[in-house]
């Protein structure tokens, strides 16, 4: 378990799900995962919010996880989204992801229904007892309308396979509180790109990032600077990345992200209803930011490739 936790430090990618003519484009998914791994991503996280998890059929969910696992081929962990406000559905998704070969699960608080803390305890414990792989809790109250209390997280962390938390609250003081209560072996990951450096410096381990899909090398470099407490570098990367963080959330995730990746030629920008294409005004703002940051990413990617060409050899 400790080796898995160590591998998830740094910058992980919350994967989008590419479509072609309304169907999952598995070839594009495979190529995109290889690109992220080649550029130093720590872990791949399919079928979450960014992956439009609630809009996938159970069969699509299983196949997306399975293809991601096959492409990763052990080079990086695959943490599969397995969230629902229906506990039975969440268990089904969790078991399916485990069968597909995922190394861990990302399980969000049950949205819309606003369960009590006791209800969420039972929800997560039921998922935990149904599978044999690690679980990372996901607290994102801005989307779910329910939040995990610190005490609930501590109680859930007593279960042997609940090993971490993705925290998208933006509450930086919470990081130190949780670290004191949970110890060094509980994985604390940011789910808020804009505050990920502050999260790291407060005692966090990494970030499950939207932005890392577009500029994986720069996001990885930010986390390496955090590892070494290089304050000037951290500040430089934060200032560089801040406009992209903002642009990728100018409309609901993953709408701007898919437009950015389409602009890069990595996948189509198709979405599933009720998500709709990026508005023209938002598209212009996003394009302005991309024109500024993409040359920096490509320059750093060439440098990274030269220095790490022996890392993550492509599976035969």
What would the 3-class secondary structure string for the chain be?
CHHHHHHCCEEEEECCCCEECCEECHHHHHHHHHHHHHCCCCCEECCCCCCCHHHCCHHHHHHHHHHHHHHHCCCCCEEEECCCCCHHHHHHHHHHHHHCCCCEEEEECCCCCCCCHHHHHHHHHHHHHHCCCCEEEEECHHHHCCCCCHHHHHHHCCCCCEEEEEECCCCHHHHHHHHHHHCCCCEEEECCHHHHHHHHHCCCCEEEECHHHCCHHHHHHHHHHHHCCCHHHHHHHHHHHHHHHHHCCCCCCCHHHHHHHHHCCCCCCCCCCCCCCCCHHHHHHHHHHHHHHHHHHHHHHHHHHHHCCCCCCCCC
Sequence-distant (≥ 6) Cβ neighbours of residue 281 within 8 angstroms = none
Look at residue 311 in the predicted model and tell me its pLDDT. 47
Q: Examine the residue annotation and report whether 299 is marked as an active-site residue of this protein.
A: no
> What mean pLDDT is predicted for residues 140-151?
95
Question: Could you give the percent of the chain with pLDDT greater than 90?
Answer: 94
Computed over every residue of the chain, the mean pLDDT equals 95
Residue 45: pLDDT above 70? yes
> What mean pLDDT is predicted for residues 176-182?
96
Residue 138: pLDDT above 70? yes
Question: Using CA atoms, how far apart are residues 44 and 34, in angstroms rounded to an integer?
Answer: 10
> What mean pLDDT is predicted for residues 215-242?
97
Cβ distance 261 to 214 under 8 Å?
A: yes
Residue 291: pLDDT above 90? yes
Catalytic residue among 3, 23, 112, 138: 138
Catalytic residue among 166, 237, 258, 285: 166
Look at residue 1 in the predicted model and tell me its pLDDT. 63
pLDDT band, very low/low/confident/very high, at 6 (cuts 50, 70, 90): confident
Residue 36: pLDDT above 50? yes
* pTM over the 0.85 mark: yes
Residue 312: pLDDT above 50? no
Look at residue 22 in the predicted model and tell me its pLDDT. 93
Show me where the domains of the chain are located: 2-307
pLDDT tens digit string along 67-126? Answer: 999 999 999 999 999 999 999 999 999 999 999 999 999 999 999 999 999 999 999 999
CATH superfamily of the 2-307 domain: Aldolase class I (3.20.20.70)
> What mean pLDDT is predicted for residues 54-76?
97
Q: Examine the residue annotation and report whether 138 is marked as an active-site residue of this protein.
A: yes
pLDDT band, very low/low/confident/very high, at 309 (cuts 50, 70, 90): low
Look at residue 3 in the predicted model and tell me its pLDDT. 84
pLDDT band, very low/low/confident/very high, at 313 (cuts 50, 70, 90): very low
Q: Which of 117, 174, 173 shows the shortest CA–CA distance to 148?
A: 117
């Amino acid at each position: 378990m400790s080796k898995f936790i160590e591998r998830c430090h740094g910058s992980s990618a919350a994967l989008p799900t590419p479509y072609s003519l309304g169907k999952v484009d598995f070839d594009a998914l495979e190529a995109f995962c290889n690109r992220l791994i080649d550029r130093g991503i720590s872990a791949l996280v399919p079928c979450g919010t960014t992956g439009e998890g609630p809009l996938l059929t159970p069969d699509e969910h299983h196949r997306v996880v399975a293809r991601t696992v096959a492409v990763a081929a052990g080079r990086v962990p695959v943490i599969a989204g397995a969230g629902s406000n229906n506990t039975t559905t969440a268990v089904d998704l969790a078991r399916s992801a485990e069968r597909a070969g995922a190394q861990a699960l990302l399980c969000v608080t049950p949205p819309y229904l606003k369960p009590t803390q006791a209800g969420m305890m039972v929800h997560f414990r039921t998922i935990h007892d149904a599978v044999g792989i690690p679980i990372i809790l996901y607290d994102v109250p801005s989307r779910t309308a329910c939040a995990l209390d610190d005490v609930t997280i501590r109680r859930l962390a007593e279960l042997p396979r609940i090993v971490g938390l993705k925290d998208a609250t933006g509450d930086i003081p919470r990081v130190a509180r949780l670290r004191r209560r949970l110890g060094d072996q509980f994985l604390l990951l940011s789910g808020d790109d804009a505050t990920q450096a502050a999260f790291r410096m407060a005692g966090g381990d990494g970030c499950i990032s939207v932005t890392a899909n577009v500029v994986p090398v720069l996001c990885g470099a930010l986390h390496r600077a955090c590892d070494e407490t290089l304050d000037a570098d951290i500040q430089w990367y934060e200032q560089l990345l801040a406009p992209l963080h903002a642009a990728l959330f100018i409309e609901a995730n993953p709408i701007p992200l898919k437009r950015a990746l389409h602009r890069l030629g990595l996948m189509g920008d198709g979405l599933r209803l009720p998500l709709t294409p990026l508005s023209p005004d938002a598209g212009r703002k996003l394009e302005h930011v991309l024109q500024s940051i993409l040359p920096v990413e490509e320059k750093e990617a060439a440098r990274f490739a030269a220095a790490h060409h022996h890392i993550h050899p492509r599976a035969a």
